Amino acid sequence: MATYRSPGVYVEEISQLSASIAEVESAVPAFVGYTQIAKQQVDDDLLHVATPINSWSDFQQLYGNADVEHAANITIAVNEIRPAAVTTGYKVTITPNYAAMSPYLLYYAVQQYFANGGGRCYIVSVGKYGASISDTDLKAGLDLVALEDEPTLLVVPEAIRLNAAAYTNVVNAMMLQASSLKDRFAILDTLQTTSPKTTTSIAADVKTVMDATPADGETLRYGAAYYPFLESTYPLGFDFPNLTLTTHTIGGNPAGSEDKTGKKMQDLQSIASAMYNAIVREYGNYHIILPPSAAVAGAYARVDETRGVWKAPANVGLMNVVKPLVSIARPEQDLLNINTDSGKSIDCILTIPGAGTVVMGARTLDGNNNDWKYVNVRRFCSVVEESIQKSTRWVIFEPNTSATWIKVQSMIENYLFLKWRDGALAGAKPEQAYVVNIGLGTTMTADDILEGRMIVEIGMAVARPAEFIILRFEQQTQTS
């Protein structure tokens, strides 16, 4: 209380409200990879810097565009159909050399993240186009992310460009950071998706991420893996107007004096518009193939915004996706969703008739653990833990007495009540949904107080998703 020494009228403001808990952001991914530029003021000033952005235009301004594909990595052949003297159509054959194309995916990944509802995120450019993609670079980028408090998701799409050993190093670095800091979650891609699939290819594909992740359940619960890769709606990154016609035939025979082999597409547009239009239509059938992690991160952000972090980010459609690279049948999904051998779950992305491309898995890699098998449970608990942790810093060095305990308990209970009301916690009544205990003889001993420890015990009944909907029907005998 203030000391008053002279006559007068003094004002004292008395707070009648208890302290409140401000919830932290739940879906702020950090993308690590390679970019065309990394410039804010001068060249390369954003290289090896974790930089927050808020929009797709921010990324383009600071990090440039996609890598332009070399024209030698695609062939365009046109057979002009001319059964008589008049051309009746064109058979266009386009053959991209996917194996030789640019390995840089971050540009398209971030674009797909924003297209799927993503918002604020961090970018770490670890190198520019022309550099070899290496686990050393990507791990160094992850180390920079570890110094930032805001990111809650880890996404490294270009890890699929590494060999098995280097890929394992990056996956381990992602999982270790998430599990040690406990405030973030790793979204993993398999190293490969074999297309077209065979009887053994799906098992071989998902084995790449299963072998790369540790067996420790305390680590596995902080990550989830998604399969398969996605065919995006983004066209191949060639400079299309300057591509040349590789082969021109008429009726399967050399075109002779009408041969347009070697002509650029921009020239064909004016001298052979019908042929050009046929090429454009066929070229539009080829798209960039992307690992699913960026699109899934966008879905996380969208679900968190519209429903809440407690809602499972599943049974949601993905935008800017033509289809999954391979289709997964029900028996195949059964083995991925619940794997009794490894205990590791892989979340599938399926094509659902009438719904498009849909995420149909909500399990962490620790898929057989009843406590932590669901992505939303792990992420919700992380958000609650960090929110309460940050909002109770004012208690440090406060008197460790019942007056302080009551304030802390009230603050946490008010926060959890709001979560229960939103539907994040199960229970018909608040007391069935959560419990907050603090006090001498309850959570602390006299020695704890002498040692300066204030211990709060919090229990929550987190809502689990209805993963299996079982409808039971029976026929009844006629009664009248």
pLDDT tens-digit profile of 120-130? 999 999 999 99
**pLDDT of 16 strictly over 70:** no
Task: Check whether residue 164 and residue 131 sit in a common domain.
Answer: yes
473 within domain boundaries: yes
Q: Is residue 356 part of a domain?
A: yes
Regarding whether 275 and 203 lie in a shared domain, the answer is no
Task: Give me the sign of the Cα torsion angle 145, 151, 154, 159.
Answer: negative
CATH code assigned at 33: 3.40.50.11780
On whether both 401 and 361 belong to a single domain, the answer is no
Is residue 385 in some structural domain? no
93 and 44 fall within a common domain = no
Q: Which domain holds residue 48?
A: 29-66+102-234+288-377
My answer on whether 178 and 308 are in the same domain is yes
Give a yes or no: residue 13 inside a domain: no
Write the burial class of residue 265 (CB in 10 Å: 0-12 exposed, 13-18 middle, 19+ buried).
Answer: buried
Beta strands in 230-345 (DSSP E): 230-235, 247-250, 253-254, 287-290, 316-317, 321-324
468 pLDDT above the threshold of 80: no
Residue 389 lies in a domain: no
By CB atoms closer than 10 A (0-12, 13-18, 19+), residue 188 is buried
User: Is 219 a member of any domain?
Assistant: yes
Q: Tally the domains of the chain.
A: 3
Residue 314 domain flag: yes
DSSP, collapsed to helix, strand or coil, labels residue 435 as: strand
pLDDT-derived band of residue 273, with 50, 70 and 90 as boundaries? very high
Mean pLDDT for the chain?
Answer: 93
Report the Cα 166 to chain-centroid distance in Å.
Answer: 21
Task: Assess whether 39 and 149 both reside in one domain.
Answer: yes
- Asked if residue 312 is part of any domain, the answer here is yes
Residues 222 and 250 in one domain: no
Contact 153, 124 (CB under 8 A): no
Instruction: State which of 219, 252, 285 marks the end of a domain.
Output: 285
Q: What is the pTM of this model?
A: 0.93
Question: Does residue 330 share a domain with residue 202?
Answer: yes
Judged on CB neighbours under 10 Å (0-12, 13-18, 19+), 384 is buried
pLDDT value at residue 388: 93
275 and 308 belong to one structural domain: no
Share of the chain above pLDDT 70, in %: 99
How would you label 192-222 residue by residue, b for 16+ Cβ within 10 Å and e otherwise? bbbeebeeebbeebbbbbbebbeeebebbbb
